[in-house]
Each structure stands twice: as structure tokens, then as C-alpha cells.
């Protein structure tokens, strides 16, 4: 015990020995001096001469300096002391060049910040397990569509029922459907549309999640005959119901029908999507016919594998069941022949994966560039300090010590930069989470301990990369030779310059890689923006109007509403046109129908064609400026059960009629009477990046029970009509929610959001690295010129032409840039293949992008080199020769 106490006390004292150095040093000197004096006096008394007495005393002591050195070793903590000394030294040198330090720290902060932020996103979204019980046994199940077009198609209610009945691979299987409800307002609240999910009662138990409040669905709730129940999301409960627990067992109105609230989910729970605000039981919500149909693909299915069953075994089993179902119903088209599956995590993050990895790779490139720049700056500084270093080496400062100084210096830079970088990362993540609410699992993104550890790792990485790389220039023989150099500061020795040029080539190469990748993404984004949807997009405003079934149960009621609404809108001053359809271009697929052409010979069942369906009012085409190519719009009598006409799109006509005249022919769709083709309109795209597909338009005035989109077009700023239009809707039905009020530009913007986001981010990275690389070029060349000023002076004095000198210096800087460019182009050619899935209408080896990047880089490199080169050519030989 006393030993431990003694030792720790001694350590504490030694730690204290690190401070008040001067005072302690003085005291030691005084003590030794008094020692010597005492000894000398004794010696004098013994009869020695003063000189001999002193000499003897010193000899007995073993030298004053040696004693002091041994004493110091004991006084402080030598290793800590040198570290502190290095640190102080670095801080002093960094303070002496604030410009350099600021740039280096900024560069490190941006590099480390961006990399840490992206790492956090990637880890949270792609690598963290789902927050469910045994998430690795959860898989998402799909039908593999019979025509091979959709490898991961959603599942039919009948298919699911069959799987559930026949399969043995799963401990449980759950089904989910998408839904939207109009949530009625109470006590003065506005009605609102909420995204919802209907799910079978066993979904929550299967995921291992329990409601935070109340209970989950019971199997009794999940039946057509049950009374209506709903479970709220935590967010909706807080926002709309003030977080009041008394909401349990209360009734709320969805689409004007009463639902009993039975539970509230925990705040973290966001499945299937962040935007889902409430859950209802599938079998209660959907018609029994839909739940039994085997050719109507509407649902998501999730299963929990039994222990020791592999995903492949389960998939095979479901495929066998699917195939049997297909063979049993050869009379029904669109029954799948196989099943498909992927882990639930993969299904949820799906498309984000490539983009995120690309961004992560990009940030890492920026970090490497940042490190190279700092390393290069350190080399430059090291080179100007060569003589100082050489002297210190000769005096016994070891190479190790010099290496340590470089490392300490880059450590200080990385540490300060890293700390700032973590702040940046925090900001970036906050920003990312708010901008990308649409991305799945965005709620899991958090800057946690692992991310902080990653940041710390990045700091160490930067320390070693920058510190060690820059130390390659320290070679002992060169240090010695620099002492032998004449006092004239002639050529600086080749090694540091060569190293800096190599670093520069690396930087330029990575920059080119980033520039090309972002160029390609940007070009595909532009391509997307420029894609013609097939309709007018200027001054068009769209909004969703959804008539609740309860209040508008009769087709006549719906018809009356649509007609009154459109009449009123069309008389609104400033409105050029208004129309209603089930989906407007750019808004999404929206559903399809199989059909046959009555006048054509019958096709085998599994060859039955299908096309996207839309319901539109007669004014819709004019409202959106979709051109009429042939025939006419729906006749005035096309209302309710009299509706029997259809309008087809251009590609529909081309694909199924060829040269034949489509007008007057009839389409047969399931469960409807023959529909006569009365017109052909221009193609539109349902997604900007998808090719136009065949579309058939049915009369909206048949009183169709579907979600609808209202579109109005105005002469001037269309957004100013948003309020008047909503007021008109309110006059017609105060409880009717209007949602997603967007201009056509915004509709397109939403579907190109991802592309825009990735392109912008990558471009920002590329711009940053271009800046860094040009700063690097400028720095290296300025340095070379400064070092060679005397040489240039001599050349000029000997009659060299200034023009030739300019060329020479310029080439000196452009050469490493050229090497980097070649490296970058080669790297990009290989790397861009990996981002091909993110590209639209642009080849990975797009010539314009490659040429543009090459030109841009050469131009920037040229400008960065021009100033130092010009300076070199302006050197005054007299001054240069005097230069010391």
C-alpha cells in the first residue's frame, strides 16, 4: 500500500516537474554551485591551489552538465516533456505562419468533416441493423412478374394468401398496403391528408415492436366485419392530438368514417416509411375480392424465416407455390410464375446504396487531396528549414526527432482541423436529415460514439499521411550534404520538389476523377430537367383532391363535385384552363390494366398486353396542353354508366395498331364493357427518366372512385392561385382536404430530387478539390521559382530570353498537372462504370464531359502557374545575384 502511495506521489511530483521549469532549473544550478563551493573550500583547507581545488571538485561531481541532465531525467517525465516540447515548437511555427495554418486547418476540417458526416450516414442507413427483433431473419418477399419485366414486383392479395397457407419456411408472414386518408378536423382544425399503411395484424408482433401506448391490432380487428380501428404514429399523436393519452378508445374520422384509436406506436418506429402517420388493419380496409385476387399486385409482404431455413430455400418454396397458382389459373393473365426476395434492410435502403457509396468515396478523395496539400505545404516549409535541420542533425538531433516534429505538426493541424470538422459533420448531418426526409431510415442517422471514433481515426490517418509523407524528404545524407553546400541558398536539392510534384499529381488525378464523376451526374441531371414530359409545365399548378368514400359513395355525387369544381375554376379570372385526372405526367406510374382489342384475333392468355390507365375529364388535355393528334375528346354524353369511350396515347397506337387506324376500334378491359377509341393524344412520361409508355384514358365522369389530381394553368404566376382555388374547394366541401399543392416544376423537381442532390454534392466536392489542387500547383511553382531566383538571374545575365524562361517555368508546373490529368482520366474511365446506374442519358465515357474537364483543368493549372512563371521572367538579374 505504502509502495503504491510512494510511487504515485513520485509520479505526481514529476508531473509537477514539468512546470516552473526556469525556477527549478535555477535552483538546481544554485544547489550544484553551492556543492562545488563547499568542496572547493574543503580542498583549499587541505592545501590545494584554487585551480586544482575547483578541478578536483568538478571531477568528483562528474561534470555539472551531466549531473544536470541526469537530474532533469528524474525531475520530469522525459518522454512527455519532449512531446510537449514538440507541441510547443509546432504551435510556435504554426503561429508564425498564420496564413498557412489557417488554410491547412480549413482544408483538414472540410475533408474530415465531410468524410465523417458521410460515414455516419452510410453506417446509419446501410450498415446498422434494423431496430427490430432478430432483423437478419426478416426478408421482404416479391412476385417475379410473368413477363420478366419486374423482378421485384409487389404481391397480390391472393398470392399472399396462398403463400401463407402453403409455405413452411416462415414463422410468420405479414402483408402491408399503401393508403392515404383524409383526417377530418375537430374543433376548428383543418382537415388533412395523411399517409398511412394498412397492415395485417401480425406485422408488429412479427417485427417485435409493441405500441408505446394502448395495444396492437388483434386478429379480430383484421377482418372485414370488425369495427374500424387505427393505430397512430407518435408524431401524429403529438402534433394533432397534443400527446394526450386520453385519445385511446376515442373515435377519429378517416375519410369521414369513424375509427377507434387503439394504440400509439413508439416515436422511433417508422415502418414502412418515415412519412406513414397511421396504421389500419389490411383485411378490414381492403375488399375481400382484392385480398383474393391473384392478378392484382398491390401489396408488400414481409416474412420472418424459421430458424435454420435459408432465404434461398424459402424463395424456392414460394416460387413453387406461385408456379402452381399460375398453372391452376391459366385463364387469368398476369399471374406470376415465381417469387423473389431480398433481406428487409436491403429492400428498405435499395436505391440509396450506390449513391451513398459514391458520395463516401468522393469525400474520401477530398480528404486525400486535403492531406496531400498539407503534406506538400509541410515539405515546402521543411525545405526552407533545411539548413536549420542540418545543423540540428549534426548537433545530435536524430532523424527520428525530425520525423516526430513533422508528425506533431501535422497532428496539431489534423486535431484542430478534425475538431472543426466534427462540428461541420454535425451541421451537415442535421442538414442532411432535414433535406432528405424522403430517404428511408433517415431517422436512424445520428452522430454517435462510433462516428466520433471514426472522426478520431480520420485525424490519426491525416496525421500519419501528411506527417509521414512529408518526412520522406528528410534523408540523412541529404541533410549532411546541405551543410556542405555553400552558404549560398542555391538549388534546394531535388528530393522535396520531386515529392511535392508527386503529391501534386495525386491531387490533380483525384480532382479529375471527382470532376468527371460530378460532370456526368450533372449532365444527366440536366438531361432529366430538359426532358420533355409531353405537356406544358409552365404556370401549371397541381393539387390532390380526394373524395372520401363515405360521403361520396355514389358516382353521381362524385360527378357533381367534379363538374361544379371545374365550372367554378374555369370562370376564375386569370385561369386559362383547368382539368382533373387520376395522375398528371411526372407524378408516377399510377396503375395499369390488361386489355385486348376486340377487332384483333385473340392472343394467348400469357401474352395479354397491358397499359397504364388514367381517368380524365374532357378538359384535361387542353389544360395541360397534351396535343390532340387524331379524333376528338370525350363526347358530352360520356357520363356515369354511359361512359364507353377511351382515348389512347401515341405510343399505344403505334405499338398495338401500327399502320392500322385505331379510331373506332374497341378495347376490352376486365369487367368493363367494350370501350371505343375516339382519340389519340401525344405521349407523356409518368417519370422524367422513364421512356413514354402506352397510356389509355377513360372518362373521369364515369364517376370513378380514385384519388385525383387537379391541374390549373394560368396566364401569370400560377402560385398566386393556390389560395383562391383552395377556397373554392372549401366552399364546395369544408371537410375536404386538399394536399400536395405543387407547381409542375416542383412535381418534376421532386422526381429529380435525388439526381439533383447527388450531382450538387459531388460538384461541391469537385469544386473544393479543384480549388485545393490549384492552390497546390500555385504553391509548388511559386516555391520552385523562389528557390531558383539566383539561377534564373545568372541565366538572364548570360543572355537568356525572358520568353524562353517563362515557357520553361510554366512547363515545370504543368508537367505534374499533366501526369495527374492522365492518371485522373484513366482512373475516371474505370470508376465511372460504377456510377452508371445513377446516370440518365449519359454514357459513363461521355466525350464532352471528359474533354470539358480536361480543358478546365488545364486552364486552371495554367492560371495557377502563370503568376509564378511571370514573376520568374521578370527577375532582375542584379537583385537575383545578390539574393541571399
Site residues, other proteins (CB under 8 A): 3, 6-7, 9-10, 13-14, 27-28, 30-32, 34-35, 37-39, 41-42, 60-63, 66-67, 70-71, 73-75
Residue placing its CB nearer to other proteins in the complex, 36 or 823: 36
Q: Which residue has the cell 516555391?
A: 783
Q: Taking the complex as a whole, how short is the minimal distance between the CB of residue 1 and other proteins, in angstroms?
A: 10
Alpha carbons within 13 angstroms on the beta-carbon side of residue 665 total: 20
Instruction: Please identify, using beta-carbon distances, which residue of 39 and 871 lies nearer to other proteins.
Output: 39
> Checking DSSP bridges between strand 675-681 and strand 628-631, what pairing results, if any?
antiparallel
Q: Taking the complex as a whole, how short is the minimal distance between the CB of residue 21 and other proteins, in angstroms?
A: 15
Instruction: Quote the least distance from Cβ 66 to other proteins, whole Å.
Output: 6
Output the smallest distance, CB 27 to other proteins, in A. Answer: 8
Alpha carbon separation from 664 to 622, 676, 677, 778, 827 (Å, rounded)? 22, 6, 5, 73, 58
d(CA 508, CA 399): 31
CB of 39 to other proteins, least distance (A): 6
Could you tell me the smallest distance in angstroms from the CB atom of residue 77 to other proteins? Answer: 11
Q: Nearest 5°: CA angle at 489, between 488 and 490?
A: 95
Q: How far is the CB of 87 from other proteins (least distance, A)?
A: 24
CA angle 514, 520, 521 (to 5 degrees): 90
Q: Which is nearer to other proteins, 70 or 532 (CB)?
A: 70
Give the nearest distance from C-beta 64 to other proteins in angstroms.
Answer: 8
Specify the 3-state DSSP secondary structure of 695. Answer: strand
**Strand extents, DSSP E, 240-320:** 251-254, 257-264, 278-281, 297-305
Cross-strand partners of 857: none
Question: Which H or E run contains 537?
Answer: none
Closer residue to other proteins in complex, CB, 10/83: 10
d(CA 303, CA 132): 13
**Shortest reach from residue 6's CB to other proteins, in Å:** 5
With vertex at residue 539, the alpha carbon angle to CA 536 and CA 540, rounded to the nearest 5 degrees, is: 65
Strands 213-214 and 170-183: unpaired
Residue 307, Cβ neighbours under 10 Å: how many?
7
H-helix or E-strand containing 197?
A: strand 192-199
> Least Å distance between CB 445 and other proteins?
51
CB of 347 to other proteins, least distance (A): 58
The residue among 73 and 717 lying less far from other proteins, judged by its C-beta, is 73
The CA distance from 789 to 491, in Å, is: 9
Q: How far is the CB of 487 from other proteins (least distance, A)?
A: 40
Would you call 777 exposed, middle or buried from its count of C-beta atoms within 10 A (0-12, 13-18, 19+)?
A: buried
Q: Which C-beta is closer to other proteins: that of 15 or that of 453?
A: 15
SS3 assignment, position 617 = coil
Residue 75 Cβ vs other proteins, minimum distance, rounded to whole Å:
6
Beta carbon nearer to other proteins, 74 or 882:
74
Are residues 739 and 548 in contact, defined by beta-carbon separation less than 8 angstroms?
Answer: no
Count CB neighbours of 265 within 10 A. Answer: 26
- Give the CA angle between residues 538, 539, 541 to the nearest 5°: 115
Measured distance CA(620)–CA(550) in Å, rounded: 26
Q: Residue 66 or residue 715: which is nearer to other proteins going by CB?
A: 66
For residues 65 and 884, which CB has a smaller minimum distance to other proteins in the complex? 65
Going by C-alpha positions, the residue among 288, 30, 349 that lies closest to residue 161 is 288
CA distance linking residue 279 with residue 298, whole number of Å: 17
Task: Specify the residue, 60 or 705, whose C-beta has the smaller distance to other proteins.
Answer: 60
Minimum Å gap between C-beta 367 and other proteins is 45
Query: CA 400, CA 672: separation in Å to the nearest integer?
Result: 87
Give ∠ CA 343-345-346 in degrees, rounded to 5.
65
Q: Where are the beta strands (DSSP E) in 520-584?
A: 540-545, 575-581
Strands 610-616 and 695-699: parallel
Between 35 and 404, CB nearer to other proteins: 35
Closest-CA residue to 612 (of 594, 624, 596, 627): 594
Identify which of residues 65 and 148 has a Cβ nearer to other proteins in the complex.
65
Judged by beta carbon, residue 64 or residue 794, the one nearer other proteins is 64
Shortest distance (Å) from residue 4 CB to other proteins: 9
d(CA 815, CA 505): 9
Q: Which cell is 221 given?
A: 380487428
- CB-wise, 71 or 689, nearer to other proteins? 71
Please list, in sequence order, all residues whose beta carbon lies within 8 angstroms of the beta carbon of residue 367, skipping any fewer than 6 positions away. 111, 112, 114, 115, 458, 462
Burial of 594 (0-12, 13-18, 19+ CB in 10 A): middle
Smallest distance from the beta carbon of 828 to other proteins, in angstroms?
57
Nearer to other proteins, 68 or 342 (CB): 68
Residue 40 or residue 155: which is nearer to other proteins going by CB?
40
Amino acid at each position: 500500500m505504502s509502495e503504491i502511495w510512494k510511487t504515485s506521489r513520485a509520479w505526481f511530483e514529476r508531473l509537477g516537474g514539468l512546470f516552473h521549469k526556469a525556477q527549478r532549473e535555477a535552483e538546481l544550478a544554485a544547489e550544484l554551485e553551492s556543492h562545488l563551493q563547499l568542496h572547493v573550500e574543503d580542498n583549499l583547507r587541505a592545501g590545494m591551489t584554487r585551480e586544482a581545488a575547483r578541478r578536483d571538485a568538478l571531477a568528483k561531481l562528474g561534470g555539472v552538465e551531466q549531473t544536470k541532465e541526469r537530474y532533469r531525467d528524474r525531475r520530469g517525465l522525459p518522454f512527455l516533456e519532449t512531446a510537449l516540447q514538440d507541441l510547443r515548437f509546432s504551435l510556435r511555427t504554426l503561429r508564425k505562419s498564420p496564413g498557412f495554418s489557417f488554410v491547412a486547418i480549413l482544408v483538414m476540417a472540410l475533408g474530415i468533416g465531410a468524410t465523417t458526416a458521410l460515414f455516419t450516414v452510410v453506417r446509419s442507413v446501410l450498415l446498422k441493423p434494423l431496430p427490430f427483433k432478430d432483423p437478419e431473419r426478416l426478408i421482404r418477399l416479391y412476385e417475379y412478374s410473368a413477363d420478366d419485366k419486374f423482378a421485384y414486383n409487389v404481391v397480390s392479395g391472393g398470392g399472399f394468401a396462398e403463400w401463407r397457407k402453403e409455405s413452411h419456411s416462415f414463422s410468420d408472414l405479414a402483408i402491408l398496403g399503401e393508403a392515404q386518408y383524409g383526417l377530418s378536423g375537430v374543433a376548428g382544425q383543418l382537415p388533412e391528408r395523411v399517409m398511412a399503411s394498412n397492415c395485417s395484424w401480425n406485422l408488429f408482433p412479427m417485427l417485435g415492436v409493441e405500441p408505446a401506448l394502448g395495444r396492437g391490432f388483434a386478429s379480430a380487428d383484421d377482418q372485414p366485419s370488425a369495427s374500424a380501428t387505427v393505430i397512430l404514429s407518435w408524431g401524429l399523436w403529438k402534433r394533432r392530438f397534443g400527446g394526450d393519452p386520453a385519445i385511446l378508445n376515442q373515435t377519429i374520422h378517416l375519410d369521414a368514417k369513424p375509427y377507434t384509436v387503439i394504440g400509439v406506436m413508439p416515436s422511433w418506429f417508422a415502418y414502412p416509411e418515415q412519412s406513414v402517420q397511421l396504421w389500419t388493419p389490411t383485411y378490414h380496409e381492403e375488399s375481400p375480392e382484392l385480398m383474393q385476387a391473384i392478378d392484382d399486385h398491390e401489396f408488400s409482404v414481409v416474412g420472418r424465416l424459421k430458424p435454420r431455413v435459408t432465404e434461398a430455400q424459402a424463395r424456392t418454396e414460394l416460387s413453387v407455390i406461385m408456379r402452381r397458382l399460375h398453372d391452376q389459373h391459366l385463364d387469368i393473365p398476369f399471374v406470376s410464375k415465381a417469387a423473389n426476395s431480398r433481406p428487409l434492410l436491403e429492400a428498405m435502403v435499395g436505391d440509396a446504396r450506390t449513391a451513398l457509396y459514391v458520395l463516401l468515396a468522393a469525400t474520401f478523395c477530398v480528404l486525400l487531396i486535403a492531406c496531400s496539400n498539407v503534406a506538400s505545404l509541410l515539405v515546402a516549409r521543411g525545405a526552407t528549414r533545411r539548413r536549420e535541420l542540418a545543423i540540428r542533425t549534426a548537433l545530435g538531433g536524430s532523424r527520428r526527432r525530425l520525423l516526430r516534429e513533422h508528425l506533431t505538426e501535422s497532428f496539431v493541424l489534423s486535431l484542430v482541423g478534425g475538431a472543426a470538422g466534427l462540428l461541420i459533420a454535425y451541421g451537415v448531418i442535421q442538414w442532411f436529415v432535414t433535406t432528405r426526409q424522403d430517404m428511408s431510415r433517415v431517422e436512424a442517422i445520428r452522430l454517435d460514439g462510433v462516428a466520433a471514433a471514426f472522426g478520431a481515426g480520420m485525424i490519426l490517418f491525416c496525421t500519419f499521411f501528411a506527417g509521414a509523407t512529408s518526412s520522406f524528404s528528410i534523408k540523412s545524407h541529404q541533410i549532411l550534404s546541405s551543410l556542405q553546400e555553400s552558404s549560398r541558398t542555391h538549388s534546394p536539392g531535388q528530393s522535396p520538389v520531386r515529392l511535392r510534384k508527386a503529391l501534386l499529381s495525386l491531387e490533380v488525378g483525384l480532382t479529375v476523377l471527382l470532376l468527371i464523376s460530378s460532370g456526368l451526374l450533372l449532365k444527366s441531371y440536366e438531361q432529366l430537367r430538359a426532358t420533355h414530359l409531353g405537356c406544358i409545365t409552365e404556370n401549371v399548378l397541381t393539387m390532390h383532391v380526394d373524395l372520401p368514400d363515405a360521403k361520396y359513395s355514389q358516382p353521381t355525387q362524385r360527378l357533381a363535385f367534379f363538374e361544379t369544381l371545374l365550372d367554378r375554376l374555369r370562370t376564375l379570372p386569370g385561369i386559362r384552363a383547368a382539368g382533373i385526372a387520376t395522375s398528371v405526367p411526372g407524378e408516377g406510374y399510377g396503375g395499369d390494366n390488361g386489355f385486348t382489342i376486340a377487332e384483333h384475333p385473340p392472343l394467348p392468355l400469357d401474352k395479354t398486353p397491358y397499359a397504364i390507365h388514367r381517368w380524365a375529364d374532357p378538359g384535361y388535355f387542353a389544360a395541360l396542353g397534351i396535343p390532340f393528334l387524331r379524333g376528338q375528346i370525350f363526347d358530352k354524353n360520356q357520363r356515369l354508366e354511359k361512359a364507353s369511350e377511351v382515348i389512347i396515347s401515341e405510343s399505344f397506337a403505334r405499338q398495338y395498331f401500327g399502320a392500322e387506324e385505331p379510331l373506332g376500334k374497341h378495347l376490352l378491359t376486365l369487367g368493363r364493357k367494350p370501350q371505343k377509341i375516339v382519340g389519340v393524344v401525344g405521349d407523356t412520361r409518368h417519370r422524367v427518366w422513364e421512356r413514354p409508355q402506352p397510356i389509355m384514358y377513360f372518362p373521369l365522369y364515369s364517376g370513378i372512385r380514385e384519388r385525383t389530381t387537379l391541374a390549373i394553368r394560368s396566364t401569370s404566376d400560377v402560385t398566386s392561385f393556390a389560395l383562391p382555388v383552395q377556397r373554392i374547394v372549401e366552399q364546395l366541401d369544408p371537410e375536404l382536404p386538399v394536399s400536395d399543392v405543387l407547381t409542375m416544376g416542383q412535381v418534376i423537381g421532386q422526381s429529380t430530387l435525388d439526381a439533383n442532390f447527388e450531382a450538387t454534392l459531388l460538384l461541391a466536392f469537385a469544386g473544393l478539390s479543384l480549388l485545393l489542387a490549384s492552390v497546390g500547383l500555385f504553391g509548388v511553382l511559386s516555391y520552385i521559382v523562389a528557390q531558383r531566383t539566383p539561377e534564373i538571374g545568372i541565366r538572364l545575365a548570360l543572355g537568356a530570353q525572358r520568353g524562353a524562361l517563362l515557357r520553361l517555368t510554366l512547363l515545370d508546373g504543368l508537367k505534374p498537372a499533366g501526369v495527374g490529368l492522365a492518371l485522373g482520366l484513366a482512373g475516371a474511365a474505370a470508376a465511372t462504370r460504377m456510377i452508371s446506374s445513377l446516370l440518365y442519358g449519359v454514357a459513363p465515357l461521355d466525350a464532352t464531359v471528359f474533354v470539358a474537364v480536361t480543358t478546365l483543368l488545364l486552364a486552371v493549372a495554367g492560371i495557377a502557374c502563370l503568376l509564378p512563371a511571370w514573376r520568374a521572367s521578370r527577375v532582375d538579374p542584379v537583385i537575383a545575384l545578390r539574393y541571399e
